């Protein structure tokens, strides 16, 4: 397992994508720090970039990595190696690389120019979203041998969770504006890892008052012990669900 993981990580580093991705994130963070000295504004700017691009990059790269290494995976499956070890080594290598790129790319500028709780939350959410969408990408990849179709499914999931879902939530809120929807809105947020990560970061900033009564309700919920436990648990569930399903499908797939 560890030898397979080591080889998979080496293969990713050899492609130079990890270095380019890390440098790109670092340049983005440095440029934002140079524009503003207010950590709240820095956190908000980085959040907008992270919410949009990190899930997209994770989904596309994970899908491409799986198909680029498909021949190696098939070769390993012909050896006396457990199928789950072959799959997990590839999945963990992608997740580790994406997570390290975020921690180094965003983390190093934070060490140099300062960070607060919202920026630390941003790092954690970035790692979670990378893991979630890498899992979705691997799930799409093991369901079909068509690379284009798998990339299409991964992009469709990114579009749904990052763009379409918010529109559906706004439609529900607008349609039932005469009813108390605080708990319903909270439940809808929990069903989207991107929205959940965004709300967790926004609650670290002093802008919840701009969200009205719903913002006050969210602030009260996410600042409580039970709220933190529930939201953390939901993020962990979102990390586990696509990765578990992808592993289960891979174990049964006939290559």
* Block mean pLDDT (10 aa), the chain, length 255: 80 84 92 82 84 91 90 82 87 92 90 79 90 94 89 93 86 76 81 87 64 60 75 90 90 72
Closest CA to 186 of 215, 148, 209, 156: 215
Residues 6 or more apart from 63 whose CB is under 8 A from it?
137, 138, 140, 141, 147, 150, 151, 154
Q: Which domain holds residue 163?
A: 2-252
CA distance 95 to 162: 20
Alpha helices in the chain (DSSP H): 2-14, 17-35, 39-68, 70-77, 83-113, 117-143, 147-159, 165-175, 182-190, 193-202, 212-222, 225-252
Q: pTM of the prediction?
A: 0.90
Which residue, chain included where needed, has tokens 């569930």?
237
Q: How far is CA 231 from CA 39, 113, 209, 227, 237, in A?
A: 24, 29, 20, 6, 10
- Cα 252 to Cα 87, 99, 142, 143, 147, distances in angstroms: 12, 28, 10, 11, 19
Closest CA to 101 of 197, 194, 23: 23
Give the total number of structural domains in the chain. Answer: 1
- Secondary structure of residue 189 in the 3-state scheme: helix
CB neighbour list of residue 82: distance below 8 Å, 6 or more residues apart: 1
- pLDDT, position 198: 84
CB distance 160 to 88 below 8 Å: no
* Residue 255, pLDDT score: 58
């Amino acid at each position: 397992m560890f030898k397979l993981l080591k080889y998979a990580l080496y293969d990713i580093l050899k492609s130079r994508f990890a270095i380019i991705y890390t440098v790109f994130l670092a340049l983005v963070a440095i440029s934002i720090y140079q524009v503003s000295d207010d950590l709240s504004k820095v956190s908000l700017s980085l959040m907008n970039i992270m919410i949009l691009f990190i899930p997209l990059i994770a989904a596309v790269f994970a899908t491409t990595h799986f198909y680029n290494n498909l021949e190696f995976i098939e070769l390993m499956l012909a050896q006396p190696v457990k199928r789950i070890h072959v799959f997990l080594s590839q999945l963990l290598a992608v997740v580790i690389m994406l997570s390290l790129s975020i921690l180094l790319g965003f983390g190093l500028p934070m060490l140099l120019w300062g960070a607060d709780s919202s920026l630390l939350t941003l790092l954690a959410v970035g790692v979670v979203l990378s893991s979630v969408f890498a899992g979705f990408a691997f799930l799409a990849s093991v369901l079909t041998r068509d690379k284009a179709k798998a990339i299409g499914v991964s992009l469709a999931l990114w579009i749904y969770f990052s763009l379409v879902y918010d529109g559906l939530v706004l439609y529900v809120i607008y349609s039932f504006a005469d009813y108390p929807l605080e708990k319903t809105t909270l439940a809808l947020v929990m069903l989207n890892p991107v929205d959940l990560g965004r709300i967790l970061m926004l609650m670290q900033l002093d802008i919840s008052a701009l969200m009205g009564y719903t913002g006050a309700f969210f602030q009260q919920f996410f600042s409580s012990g039970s709220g933190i436990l529930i939201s953390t648990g939901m993020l962990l569930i979102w990390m586990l669900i696509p990765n578990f399903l992808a592993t289960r499908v891979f174990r049964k797939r006939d290559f």
